[in-house]
Amino acid sequence: MKLKRIIITGKGGSGKDYLRKIMEGFGFVYCRSYTTRPIREGEENGKDYFFIEDKDIPKKKDLYESVYFNNWFYGTPKEEFKNSNLFIMTPKGISSLKKIDRKSSIVIYIDADEESRRSRLSERKDADDVERRIKADEEDFIDFKDFDVTINNSNKNEQDFPEDIASFMKNLFKK
């Protein structure tokens, strides 16, 4: 079966957004989700996410999948899912994929040690508490094994993230 999408997953501070931006530079179309999480410095509404309030959460029938992650709502609009080939998802989001969609996806798990993640999370101008995020991620990723590729991104600056990963992934779609 031909690949239709790349799904990036990993704990907070692992480098998901950085890899996503590299891959967008190679022509991948990022699926923007709705979220009730506060916007971070450098993010743009409609580009990174659709930032909404609790009262504006769409109806289930309009969403491909939805989860609460770290106490915030995340939901993928059906139209975005259909028109995109690059995703960032949580383990719960991945587990909610339809079987046919999971078979035509490659899931990349970005693994980074706690020290590296803690350092990156501390540098963010974020509404989230680092300690709470580390603990919540440990719970959310316990026994998570539904991935196809692991990338180790420990002890590196995100700027050192290998761009050839995106090039390699783009070649997978040509086959």
Q: What is the per-residue pLDDT across 56-69, written as a single tens digit (0 to 9) for each?
A: 999 999 999 998 87
Tokens of 11: 């704990």
Q: Residue 145's pLDDT is what?
A: 96
Closest by Cα among 175, 164, 159 to 26: 164
C-alpha span between 132 and 173 (Å, rounded)? 37
Taking residue 30's Cβ as centre, other Cβ atoms within 10 Å add up to 19
Tokens of 24: 């967008």
Predicted TM-score of the model (pTM)? 0.84
Q: Residue 167's pLDDT is what?
A: 54
Closest by Cα among 61, 60, 39, 62 to 50: 39
- Answer for the pair 150, 109: CB distance below 8 angstroms, yes or no: yes
Architecture of domain 5-31+84-174: 3-Layer(aba) Sandwich (3.40)
- Profile the chain (175 residues) by mean pLDDT over runs of 10 residues: 87 88 88 92 90 95 87 92 94 92 94 88 76 88 92 65 56 56
Residue type, 120: R
Domain ranges of the chain: 5-31+84-174
